[in-house]
Every structure is written in C-alpha cells, then in structure tokens.
Amino acid sequence: MSKTRKNSVAFCGGAFGDEGKGRIVDEYVNNFSKDFKVILYRDNGGANAGHTVETSDGKRLALHQLPSGVFVKDSTIILGKGMVLHPGDLAEEIRQVKEATGGKLIVDIQIDEMAVLALDTHRAFENVLKEWQEGGKGATGRGISPAYSDVLLRHPLRMRDLANFDEAKIRKHYQMYSCIIKGLNGDLSTATVKCLGGEGEITVGDEDAFINRLMEQVKEIKPYIKSVFSLLAEAWQDPKYAFVFEKAQAIGLDPRYGVYPDVTSSDTTFAGISSSTEGVIDHNLIENRIAVIKATYMSSVGARRLPTLVKDELADKIREDAHEYGATTKRPRDIAYLDLPALRFFCKSGCVSALALTHMDIVYPGKPVKVCTAYEINDKEVPYRPDQEYLDKVKPVYKEFKPWNVDEIQKAKNEAELPKESKTFLKFISKELGIPVQVITTGPRRDQSLIF
C-alpha cells in the first residue's frame, strides 16, 4: 500500500446520519488554516443534508449543500462531481453565507462543472412517486434519487449545461419530466415543491416559467462553476495544501450498505471521493478517514426498524437532551442503543480508518450505558446484514457499562482528565470495531472536544 498523503482527513457519518460532523470538520479546517491553504471538498449528496454552522461572532446558519468550514477565511470549498445540486437553493445559501460575512465571501467557492443538477422537476417527480410506491416515502423531497437516476439513465443535466445555458437540452428535460409525471396522473406545471428561502415552497410552473427561473438562478452561481480537476491534482501534490473532505449522509444510508429501500442514492462511503474526483484523489491515500458516530446511542429518521430501538422513556429523554429532530425535515428521530454489529459492517464497507465519538455527555446517573455487542438468531451468533426482513429476526445481545459523571467529562481538557468509566467505554468500542478513536466531543460547546 502506498504512503498516505500527509495533512489530509475525511469525515463521514458512521451510522444513519446527523452524527454532528459539522463542528468537528470546522475544527479541523480551522486548525489546518493556521499553517496551510485548505481545500474542503464535498463529494456526495445535495440539499437533503442539513447542518448548522457558526460564524466566529456566534451567528448560526443552517446549510444544506455547502459544507461546514464556509466561515474559515481563505479556504477553497469545492462542490464535487458526485453531488446533485439545486441551483436556486445553492444561490440562496451563498447569499446567506455572504450576508453573514459582511456582504462578501471570505472563502473561494468552486462548483465542479460536472456536478449534476437536482431541479424542481426532480422534486415534483419524487413527490408523485411517493403516491405510487412505498420505497421513496421517507425521502426528503429534495429530488435526490431522481437526479442520481438521471445519471444512470444517461440523461443528466450538469452544471456546465446550466452555465452555458443549453436551453434546448433544459427544455427537453422539462418536457420529459412533464410526460413522466402526466403518466402518473400528476401535472408538473401546477406541482408545488420545497425550496429554500421565500415561502419555502414554489409552484414549478410551465416550461417558460421553469426556464426563466433557471436563467435568473444561474446568474448568481455562474461565477463559481469551474473545472476543478487541475487544481485538485496540483494541490494534492503540493505540501502547502491541506485537504478536508466532508461527506454527506452516512454509511448506513448508502444504497448498497444501508437497509434498502430506506436509503439515499449517493455513495456515502469514502470510496465516493475517488469516483467524484475521477481518481485524482485515491481515498485509500487520505491520511485519516474518520467515521463520526454518537458514542452512547444511535439515532435515525426514516422508516427503518432498528434492532436496538430504545422503547422506554430513555428515548424521549435523549431526544430532548440531544435535540434529536431532523435538521432538514424537523422529524423526531428514533433512538437506539449503540449497535456494534451494524457499526462493524459500516466501518468495513465504508473504508473507515478512525472514529470520532460525539455526545459523550449523553449519560444519566445510575443508568448503565447499554451497548449491543452481537446479534443472535436461534441462540447462534449472526452478523449484521442490510436486509430489513433479516434484521427483524435478530436478537441483540447487550453489555452494560457504568455511566460516567457528566460534569467531569464536560470539563475534561485532555485524555487524562476523562472519567475512568468513560475511558473503559472508549477502549471497548475501539477494540470491538478494530479502529482507533481519534476525536470525542464531550458537550454542546465548540470547545468541548478532544483530539487524541
């Protein structure tokens, strides 16, 4: 195996999303920015993601398509080929970021001209599909799966089609989706879809209205649409640069490794970085590939039935204490005990090399921290498999850990100050998953994190 590239780190969600990657990514970008030019690259997903970022003066902003780190001065932010981007929502996000930094961007945003468009047509189609089949019921309504399907069906619109405004191609796209939706008893022109800004919802309108809206939106984002590959290739070889990759969603939502069909449509593993960068960056050469997971429990939105679901009042308590409501959809999240068989599978299929454990302060006095260490069927140990019917049959085997003191862990400034019980817990998780723990977060404040 070749040597890894120094000063490169990638983050992904290690379970079902919403693990709190954002602030850790922010911290790494900040730290690197003191000594390096930083490239922050996102390779998958689109407006289905959601995270809150904070400016240095404490302003908070909910972002979807832009990664965390947009407030770290002079970094270069690349939205990669593997993403599906909504131009209107992106223009609105860029506007909000600009506003938060005094009317001018303090970072260089580059949108790969090869990134795929996820448009109002896709959102309308997704809504109609929800009426027709069970599979897509949990989707976020941001048109993610229809946009990725365009690629497999070999008729995607890419950012460069928008930048060059290939009107004939865009009109054909509208006409095709209009026909598909009509065939499913819908009407594209009167369909309403979610959007950022304004009323939060718009009517798609007829073909001309759709074209005119895109013409307006492209004016705002055109300056950022570029070919990014030579910059990526040169910077990867140049030690003046540090690289941070922030993936969206999580390995448990990958269409191949998550519980189908309650999955998203992008490659949520680190391998997605290789394909999005057309092999310019080999994900195996990234120095640290860190999966972020919640330390003492798991959470999930969607229809999946988790084998370790918490069924008593502990779930409500955790949901309130850790604000477990969807960032994009506001849906209350299911709460489950930490599921090591699932995490073992996700770490392996996701090409993970280290762990970040968040929410170490979600423990309660006198209440053991319960962890599922294995699954059994008919008293025989079995592995995790991404198949709901199979998972419905497994019986989780639990091990309990003594809770640690919340005050003590929240105040810990280094590893030595961590409560003894929390160290025992961390050691166990790392050993079971066969991966070192590199970061933990010990409370909601930005400074409550430790990097080992």
- Report the catalytic residues: 18, 51
Closest CA to 70 of 37, 29, 116, 20: 29
CB-wise, 20 or 403, nearer to ligand IMP? 20
Q: How far is the CB of 48 from ligand IMP (least distance, A)?
A: 4
The per-residue DSSP string of 343-391 comes to HHHHHHHTT--EEEEE-TT--BTTB-EEEEEEEEETTEEE---S-HHHH
Q: How far is the CB of 47 from ligand IMP (least distance, A)?
A: 9
Q: Which residues pair with 40 in a beta bridge?
A: 77, 244
Q: How far is the CB of 42 from ligand IMP (least distance, A)?
A: 12
CB-wise, 50 or 67, nearer to ligand IMP? 50
Q: How far is the CB of 200 from ligand IMP (least distance, A)?
A: 16
CB-wise, 8 or 349, nearer to ligand IMP? 349
Could you tell me what percentage of the chain is helix, strand and coil, using 3-state DSSP and rounding each to the nearest 5?
A: 35, 25, 40
Closest CA to 28 of 412, 416, 411, 290: 290
CB-wise, 63 or 244, nearer to ligand IMP? 63
Distance CA 271, CA 267 (A): 7
CB-wise, 90 or 144, nearer to ligand IMP? 144
CB-wise, 113 or 246, nearer to ligand IMP? 246
Q: How far is the CB of 144 from ligand IMP (least distance, A)?
A: 4
Distance CA 243, CA 38 (A): 6
Binding footprint of ligand IMP on the chain (CB under 6 A): 17-18, 48-50, 138-140, 142, 144-145, 248-249, 253, 262-265, 301-302
Q: What dihedral angle (degrees, nearest 10) is formed by the CA atoms of 285, 287, 293, 296?
A: 140
Q: How far is the CB of 435 from ligand IMP (least distance, A)?
A: 22
Q: Residue 53: CB partners within 8 Å, gap ≥ 6? A: 22, 26, 60, 61, 63, 68, 69, 70, 71
Structure tokens at 171: 């009109």
CB 153 within 8 A of CB 134: no
Q: Which residues pair with 35 in a beta bridge?
A: none
Name the residue with the smallest CB distance to ligand IMP: 17
Distance CA 83, CA 62 (A): 19
Q: How far is the CB of 84 from ligand IMP (least distance, A)?
A: 9
Q: Which residues pair with 111 in a beta bridge?
A: 79, 225
CB-wise, 261 or 396, nearer to ligand IMP? 261
CA-to-CA separations, 263 to 65, 268, 350, 402, in angstroms, rounded:
18, 10, 15, 34
